[in-house]
């Protein structure tokens, strides 16, 4: 990937809040049209990273750029290039869906007619025409999230930051958001996604970055990360749990020593590494048949992303909480009251006519 193909570039970013080191030399990039998931336990530094990239917080050290604009030297251009949808919906509940969209368009400097036209198009695209003239305060959670994202797309961004976009949504609304992210890829929009739903990262992302205690501990595709935790394995469930020791004996060298010693009295199954995939499964089944051991189930499995996540992140000590932008931010980072909430952050201050 050449430099011109990179919409987000992060190089050795450090950030501390007092004695709390939120980020410790984080580096990564996001290509044009690429979806990258940023995963980590609570307090890992994910939200702090997003806040820095969206100019809500200044880094202590390191460099980061969005669409070629430095986040500290040219924050206004960065804000014009991004859409940020945070964990909390940033809408005016008193205004209707149409009025919210037009407001964001006018704040972005669009003319009245253009803002109205764009609002109509987004209402149709996000399946909200039927609720266009209802106050947003009456919307369901899924509808609020859709209009929230739509407001950030009134002017097409180069980069989209989605911070826990589907938290609290029902399955149908979550699928709608997933479809939107897939649409960003087709438009060539880079997307950085933080999520607590690992199957969401598995389904949507081209790459996954795992961050823990403020550092990147792993990076790669979902398949690459799964391979790091040992690859495929055979999961064997006997009909009679008393047969577990007999299974170990029958399988002999197929069962590594650490699998034997880790077997607990309460175990109801055993996992056997399957480096040869289906061939290992066939061999195990043949050996168990020869030993006359009846099974409830035997299957070839791969580690889930949940298992990968637990293997890669260290929960032996308590991480500091993610710290959002504080009063220590200077003028470029302090965007509260700028009129655009946590959406596209325009450096200009357009004069608004009546909508």
d(CA 177, CA 233): 33
3-226 and 232-301: identical CATH topology: no
Tell me the domain boundaries of the chain. 3-226, 232-301
Domain 3-226 has CATH 3.40.50.300: yes
For 36-60, the pLDDT digits (tens) are: 999 888 888 898 999 999 999 999 9
**What is the radius of gyration, based on Cα positions, of the chain?**
25
d(CA 341, CA 355): 19
Helix axes 141-152, 97-107, angle to 10 degrees: 20
pLDDT in tens, the chain (355 residues): 666 789 999 999 999 999 999 999 999 999 999 999 998 888 888 989 999 999 999 999 999 999 999 999 999 999 999 988 876 677 899 999 999 999 999 988 899 999 999 999 999 988 899 999 999 999 988 888 889 888 988 888 999 998 888 877 788 888 888 888 888 998 899 999 988 778 888 889 999 999 988 999 989 988 888 777 667 788 899 999 888 889 888 888 787 766 555 555 557 888 888 878 888 889 999 999 999 999 999 998 877 777 777 777 765 444 444 444 343 333 333 333 233 334 443 443 333 333 4
The CB-based long-range contact list for 301-305 (8 Å cut-off, 24+ gap) reads 301/232, 301/233, 301/234, 301/235, 302/226, 302/231, 302/232, 302/233, 303/226, 303/229, 303/230, 303/231, 303/233, 304/198, 304/226, 305/198, 305/199, 305/201, 305/202, 305/208, 305/222, 305/225, 305/226
Chosen CATH of 232-301 out of 3.40.50, 1.10.150, 3.30.70, 3.30.1330 = 3.30.70
149 by Cβ neighbours in 10 Å (0-12 / 13-18 / 19+) ranks as: buried
d(CA 40, CA 196): 8
Q: Is 207 helix (H, G, I), strand (E, B) or coil?
A: strand
Indicate left, alpha or beta for 162 from its phi (over 0: left) and psi (-120 to 50: alpha): beta
d(CA 145, CA 125): 14
d(CA 293, CA 90): 60
Predicted model pTM: 0.71
Indicate left, alpha or beta for 97 from its phi (over 0: left) and psi (-120 to 50: alpha): alpha
């Amino acid at each position: 990937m050449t430099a011109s193909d990179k919409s987000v570039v992060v190089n050795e970013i450090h950030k501390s809040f007092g004695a709390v080191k939120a980020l410790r030399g984080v580096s990564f990039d996001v290509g044009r049209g690429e979806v990258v998931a940023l995963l980590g336990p609570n307090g890992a530094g994910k939200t702090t990273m997003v806040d820095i990239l969206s100019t809500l917080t200044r880094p202590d050290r390191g460099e980061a750029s969005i669409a070629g604009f430095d986040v500290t030297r040219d924050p206004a251009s960065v804000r014009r290039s991004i859409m940020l949808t945070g964990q909390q919906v940033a809408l005016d509940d008193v205004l209707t869906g149409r009025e919210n969209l037009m407001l964001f368009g006018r704040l972005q400097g669009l003319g009245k007619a253009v803002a109205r036209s764009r609002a109509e198009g987004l209402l149709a695209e996000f399946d909200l025409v039927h609720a266009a003239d209802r106050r947003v305060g009456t919307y369901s959670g899924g509808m609020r999230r859709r209009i929230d994202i739509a407001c950030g797309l009134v002017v097409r961004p180069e980069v989209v930051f989605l911070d826990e976009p589907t938290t609290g949504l029902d399955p149908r609304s979550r699928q709608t958001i997933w479809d939107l992210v897939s649409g960003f890829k087709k438009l060539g929009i880079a997307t950085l996604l933080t999520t607590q739903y690992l199957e969401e990262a598995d389904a949507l992302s081209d790459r996954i970055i795992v961050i823990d205690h403020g550092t990147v501990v792993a990076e790669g595709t979902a398949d690459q990360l799964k391979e790091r935790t040992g690859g495929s394995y055979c999961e064997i469930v006997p009909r009679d749990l008393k047969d577990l020791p007999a299974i170990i004996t029958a399988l002999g060298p197929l069962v590594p020593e650490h699998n034997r010693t880790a077997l607990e009295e309460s175990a109801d199954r055993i996992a056997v590494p399957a480096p040869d995939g289906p061939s290992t499964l066939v061999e195990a089944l043949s050996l168990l048949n020869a030993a006359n051991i009846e099974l409830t189930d035997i299957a070839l499995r791969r580690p889930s992303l949940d298992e990968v996540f637990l293997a890669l992140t260290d929960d032996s000590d308590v991480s500091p909480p993610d710290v959002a932008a504080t009063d220590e931010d200077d003028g470029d980072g302090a965007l509260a009251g700028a009129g655009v909430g946590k959406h596209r952050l325009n450096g200009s201050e357009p004069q608004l006519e009546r909508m």
